Amino acid sequence: MSEQSRSGEKILRGIPVSGGVCRAKTVVLGKAREAIPRHEIAEASLPQEIQRLEHALTQTRQQILEVQRKVSEAMGAKDATIFEAHLLVLEDPTLIAEVTRVIQEQKINVEYAFQQVAEKYAATLSSMDDEYLRERAADMRDVTARVLDNLLGWTDETDLRKLKEPCIIISFDLAPSTTALLDRNRVLGFATDAGSKTSHTAIMARSLQIPAVVGLHDASRQLKSGQYVLLDGYNGLLIVNPTDQTLFEYGQLVRKRVNLQEKLRDIREEPAVTLDGVRVTLSANIEQASDAEHVRACGAEGVGLFRTEYLYLNRETLPTEEEQYQAYRQVAAALRPHPVVVRTLDLGGDKFISHLWMPQELNPFLGWRAIRFCLQERDLFRIQLRAILRAAVEGNIKMMYPMISGVDELNQANALVEECRAGLQTEKIAFGDSLEIGAMIEIPSAVLTADALAKRVKFLSVGTNDLIQYSLAVDRLNEKIAHLYEPTHPAIVRLIKATVEAGHRAGIWVGVCGEMAGDPVLVPLLLGLGVDELSAAVSAVPQVKFLIRRLKLDEARELAEFALNCESGLEILTRSQALARRIAPGLFENQS
């Protein structure tokens, strides 16, 4: 959505995902991959079209050789051999002959012909039983994308690491791994066409405290690099050519925000205790070991979710046991005696590592992800489990598994932990003997079997980001259906309640570490439902604490009672907002 005023100011509205206001010139990154155009080609021009194919293949070959050379220099010749397969695709005579034939027979443009033929090959390869051949499908798609980029001139000129001036990035989408690399001194904020509040890119933006707006639909097409914009991460606005009046109003908003920050700082060392004296465990979510320093600074009591997959991203090799041990140990030692819940590797979904073969999937969030991946890639999983077990000597480490769907996976994971314990014992390497293990509750099947899961673990932690996506069948990345992603849906309220009850029946604590726990509007509902621990983004912890300290648990219970008997998600949300705004109006002053 956009609005244009007479002054030339234009407002684009998206989804606010990371608070803050910034102003700068834009840097617009590569456009979305559009549908490949198909056009007819006149008979006389067909030789030219075939020449374009040859040129694109040569150009791609040169690019791959260059990448291969760099990788070989950096990591040795062995790692660079993966590109041999890419080069072979470019030289495949059958592929080239078929593309040429399609161009000549159908009299169509080369990019369309190339994509059609290459995709047919890739689809055939992906359906093979032979693993080696299936891997070639990924090579085929990789090379096809490069060839098409060359044919269509879709190259991304901007290297985010080479930005010279502070700017606001505008892009179709950003991978979580790319977001993790953003330099906060150069990238003041970012805005994307795609995405939603609980995409890992949005979560990373909050973690880095970079203002961000997503779900802007076509901002990357509307804008050019070098335009002056204001980004309002509180309300989800991207304002192009802001007027003096707008800048003045935002100056006031920023001042109010500074005042609020001061109030929040005052209670940093205070406990998260309700007005009627109930103590709530308030922890922080972190993505990297270096975030540990922010955990203390934000006033959290420890870490309720350490997303360890970021240790694996943006690199060419897997992290070793020693490296992981050092990372976990560092966080545990920095926060001792407070707990640090290390979540085992959650790759897949929207987080991938390029050098480890992970096939392209039609539904990656329903696919080879998290514990499913780890239970198949056991060597890789064992390395992480050993590192966590060893680091547990240094502090109060707990561990939890993501995306558990039922008892069988939990048993298998626990058996691997036992195996690692036994191995460390034999090797006489110290490890945390009493490390507590928990399960994340992110799938409806886990809620329905929570009684059985609870018997086998020491705590449950509800991952509402995924629980909502899987229960309501709403892809958490898709901005087109973001309005259906409804944390206050009666089904979600009941699923959380059922989890809490199952946990409490088994005598264990139940936390929430999804983004709901960092939303002051939803915190009373969670506490009213009986949740024992909340783990929120570092940037959200101060507000959550502020709200808890103004809340009476009785009011929260009343709200939860209402929600459990209510049929409308909107009504539950309205009631939750009314309570939060009444008890902590100062938190909502930045919202338009």
- For β-strands 281-286 and 533-537, DSSP reports them as parallel
Does 533 interact with Mg ion (rule: CB under 5 A)?
A: no
Shortest Cβ 84–ligand PEP spacing (Å): 35
Q: Are 304 and 341 in contact (CB under 8 A)?
A: yes
- Total chain residues near Mg ion (CB under 5 A): 3
374 is catalytic: no
Does 463 interact with Mg ion (rule: CB under 5 A)?
A: yes
22 is catalytic: no
d(CA 194, CA 217): 6
d(CA 283, CA 286): 10
- Residue 206 or 545 having the CB closest to ligand PEP: 206
Footprint of Mg ion on 439-458 (CB under 5 A): 442
Question: Applying CB under 6 A, which of residues 195, 211, 339, 463 lies at the interface with ligand PEP?
Answer: 463
Q: Are 423 and 463 in contact (CB under 8 A)?
A: no
Footprint of Mg ion on 415-444 (CB under 5 A): 442
- Residue 56 or 440 having the CB closest to Mg ion: 440
Q: Are 125 and 89 in contact (CB under 8 A)?
A: no
Shortest Cβ 234–ligand PEP spacing (Å): 22
Footprint of ligand PEP on 166-195 (CB under 6 A): none
Q: Tokens 């309700």 appear where?
A: 274
Contact pattern from residue 321 through residue 360 relative to ligand PEP, giving x for each residue in contact according to CB under 6 A and a dash for the rest: -------------------------x--------------
| Residue 92 in tokens | 């495949």
Selected catalytic residue, list 86, 200, 338, 489: 200
Cα–chain-centroid distance for residue 13?
Answer: 22
d(CA 290, CA 132): 39
- Residue 307 or 550 having the CB closest to ligand PEP: 307
- Residue 307 or 390 having the CB closest to ligand PEP: 307
Footprint of ligand PEP on 97-156 (CB under 6 A): none
Question: Applying CB under 6 A, which of residues 49, 442, 479, 555 lies at the interface with ligand PEP?
Answer: 442
- Residue 188 or 403 having the CB closest to ligand PEP: 403
Q: Tokens 């109060």 appear where?
A: 396
For the CA atoms of 367, 369, 373, 375, what is the dihedral angle to 10 degrees?
-100
Shortest Cβ 402–Mg ion spacing (Å): 6
Does 466 interact with ligand PEP (rule: CB under 6 A)?
A: yes
d(CA 327, CA 434): 20
Residues of 160-179 as b/e, b for ≥16 C-beta within 10 angstroms? Answer: beebeebbbbbbbbbbbbbb
d(CA 215, CA 199): 11
Shortest Cβ 311–Mg ion spacing (Å): 17
Shortest Cβ 569–ligand PEP spacing (Å): 18
Contact pattern from residue 364 through residue 403 relative to Mg ion, giving x for each residue in contact according to CB under 5 A and a dash for the rest: ----------------------------------------
Write the burial class of residue 370 (CB in 10 Å: 0-12 exposed, 13-18 middle, 19+ buried).
buried
- Residue 402 or 503 having the CB closest to Mg ion: 402
Task: Give which of Mg ion, ligand PEP, none residue 464 binds (C-beta under 5 to 8 Å, depending on kind).
Answer: ligand PEP
Phi, psi of 141, deg, nearest 5: -70, -35
- DSSP letter (8 states) at residue 318: P
Question: Applying CB under 6 A, which of residues 286, 311, 335, 513 lies at the interface with ligand PEP?
Answer: 513
- Residue 283 or 465 having the CB closest to ligand PEP: 465
Does 511 interact with Mg ion (rule: CB under 5 A)?
A: no
Cα–chain-centroid distance for residue 516?
Answer: 15
Shortest Cβ 183–ligand PEP spacing (Å): 23
Shortest Cβ 198–ligand PEP spacing (Å): 6
Beta bridge partners of 15: 214
Q: Tokens 């260059």 appear where?
A: 66
- Residue 139 or 442 having the CB closest to ligand PEP: 442
Q: Give the DSSP per-residue string, 154-207.
A: ------GGG--S-EEEEES---HHHHHH--TTTEEEEEESS--TTSHHHHHHHH
Does 14 interact with Mg ion (rule: CB under 5 A)?
A: no
d(CA 103, CA 80): 33
- Residue 442 or 519 having the CB closest to Mg ion: 442
Phi, psi of 473, deg, nearest 5: 55, 45
d(CA 201, CA 29): 16
Question: Applying CB under 6 A, which of residues 68, 464, 499, 590 lies at the interface with ligand PEP?
Answer: 464
Question: Applying CB under 6 A, which of residues 86, 146, 197, 307 lies at the interface with ligand PEP?
Answer: 307
- Total chain residues near ligand PEP (CB under 6 A): 11
Shortest Cβ 465–ligand PEP spacing (Å): 3
What contacts 223, CB < 8 A, 6 or more positions away?
26, 28, 170, 229, 240
d(CA 585, CA 87): 61
Shortest Cβ 90–Mg ion spacing (Å): 39
Shortest Cβ 195–Mg ion spacing (Å): 16
Question: Applying CB under 5 A, which of residues 98, 139, 350, 466 lies at the interface with Mg ion?
Answer: 466
d(CA 126, CA 16): 38
Footprint of ligand PEP on 521-540 (CB under 6 A): none
Question: Applying CB under 6 A, which of residues 177, 465, 471, 590 lies at the interface with ligand PEP?
Answer: 465
d(CA 412, CA 423): 17
Single out the residue of 120, 160, 159, 119 nearest to residue 142, CA to CA: 119
Give the interface with ligand PEP as residue ranges (CB under 6 A): 203, 305, 307, 346, 442, 463-466, 513-514
Query: Annotated catalytic sites, by residue?
Result: 200, 513
Give the interface with Mg ion as residue ranges (CB under 5 A): 442, 463, 466
